[in-house]
Structures are given as C-alpha cells and as structure tokens.
C-alpha cells in the first residue's frame, strides 16, 4: 500500500479517472478537495489532444470542480514540445482539434499541406478519407509521421470511441512507416509532468485507469502507480500484464479513504 499522506505530487489521468464523457465519477470532488487542502502538487496528465488547457478547466468547472489551468498537461502540449526541440520552426500538416492546433502554433510550428516536415495526427472530428489520403501521400513523399498519443480507444458515456492510434493506423499501413507517439506511455510526457510538479519520481503517484498507457508510463518512470477500476482496465485484464500497479482501487475517492485511515 502507498502512504498517500507522504507523497508530494499526484499525476492523474482524466478520462475514466475523473469523468466519463460529461459525467463526473464518484469520489472525484472529495479527492480534489483533499489534494487542495493537503497542499499536494497535482497535475491532470491527459492523452486527449483535442482540448486546450482552458477548455479542460472549463469542462471541470461545469462539473462543479474548481481547478486552474496550470494543473493540466495534454498530449497536444507534449507533441508541440517534442517538435519544438527536435526541429525548431518546422512545418506540419495537422489532423486534429483546437488543442493540438493551438499547442503547435504557440510552439512556433507552421501549418502547411505543401511539403511539410511532419504529419501530425490527433483525435479529430475533421478526420475523413480526404484528410487521410492527403496525410498518406505527404508521408510517402518524406514527411515524418507523429501521433499525439497511442490510445486505441477512449471511454465515452455509452461505450468506447476510436482514439488517436486507431486514426493513425491507416496511414501507417498504407505507407509502411511507423508513427512516433508523444503522449503516454512515452516516458517523456511523465517526466515533463514530474518537472512541472517539482517532484522526484519517489515523491509522486501516478493514478490511471489503463494498464497499457497510464500504469506502464508510471512504472517505467519509477513512480508508484494506482490503477482505478472506473475506466478501461479491469481486474481480469490486469492479469494479462507482466507489470502490475502498486495499488488497485475502485476509484480516486478511495485514495482519500486510505489517507484518512
């Protein structure tokens, strides 16, 4: 068991941990209140690339949660930071939503569909055969393929929806080129989260609902991990992985209960 009172920082996934779609999950208000009262450093580290920090802040506000913008870090921001370091001032053909476009723009990356350096794909309502064909041919002609995150599905109120890697897969298959994914479980994203919190890995906890992104990301960065059963992974799927979380709980509300024992 983890001594949550001794931990300085908490990195939490959002989808399946804090909410499903637009529905807040049980125990979330108590968990956030506890972190704020105990003056814990905390960051919501989400693989969703579609939203800006402001939009995420407003989404939680609509659910009655008061969380300021600096507590969010997305795969869109991780992708923009990666490209900024790899190729400052580069160009990219982008399939995505406002969160991804804004992050790339603020990082000084030029949007272009003519001989770009990169093709960048995130979750996108604008995804179509036309955009897919354009992306495929740009990669064939030399553009490097980037995926905002490697999630195959994402939980929604009435089931699951295809996520980023599922949208990138057709381009990979058509071109024979593999994408580089910037979001979880890429350790770069978790290490950035720790840096933003000002925490050493031993001082932090990673809370997530997915074994294949959240728990493996925390494990590979040496962070204690909490798998909550309010999202994708279950006790049955847990058995199929060679690595295991430090703790398994029903939801984030149980963190408060454990801390108050």
DSSP 181-207: E-STT-HHHHHHHHHHHT--GGGEEEE
Please give the C-alpha separations between residue 202 and each of 39, 205, 206, 221, 223, in angstroms, as whole numbers.
18, 8, 11, 10, 6
User: Tokens in use for 222?
Assistant: 């040496």
* Residue positions annotated with a catalytic role: 13, 15
**CA 178, CA 145: separation in Å to the nearest integer?**
7
Q: Judging by DSSP bridges, how do beta strands 19-20 and 23-24 pair with one another?
A: antiparallel
Which class for 70: exposed (0-12), middle (13-18), buried (19 or more C-beta within 10 A)? exposed
Contact 194, 200 (CB under 8 A): yes
């Amino acid at each position: 068991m983890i001594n949550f009172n001794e931990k300085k920082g908490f990195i939490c996934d959002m989808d399946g941990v804090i909410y499903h779609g637009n529905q807040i999950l049980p125990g979330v208000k108590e968990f956030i209140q506890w972190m704020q009262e105990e003056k814990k450093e905390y960051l919501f580290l989400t693989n969703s690339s579609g939203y800006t920090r402001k939009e995420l802040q407003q989404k939680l506000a609509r659910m009655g949660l008061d969380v300021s913008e600096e507590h969010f870090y997305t795969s869109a921001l991780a992708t923009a930071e990666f490209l900024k370091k790899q190729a400052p001032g580069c160009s990219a053909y982008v399939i995505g939503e406002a969160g991804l476009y804004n992050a790339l723009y603020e990082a000084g990356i030029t949007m272009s569909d003519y001989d770009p350096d990169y093709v960048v794909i995130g979750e996108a309502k604008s995804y179509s055969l036309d955009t897919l064909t354009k992306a495929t041919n740009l990669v064939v002609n030399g553009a490097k393929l980037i995926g905002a995150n490697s999630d195959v599905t994402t939980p929604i109120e009435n089931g699951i929806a295809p996520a980023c890697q599922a949208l990138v897969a057709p381009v990979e298959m058509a071109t024979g080129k593999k994408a580089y994914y910037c979001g979880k479980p890429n350790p770069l994203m978790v290490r950035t989260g720790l840096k933003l919190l000002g925490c050493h890995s031993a001082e932090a906890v990673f809370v997530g609902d997915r074994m294949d992104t959240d728990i493996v990301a925390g494990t590979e960065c040496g962070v204690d991990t909490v798998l909550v059963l309010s999202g994708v992974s279950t006790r049955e799927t847990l058995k199929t992985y060679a690595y295991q979380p430090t703790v398994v709980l029903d939801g984030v509300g149980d963190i408060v209960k454990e801390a108050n024992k």
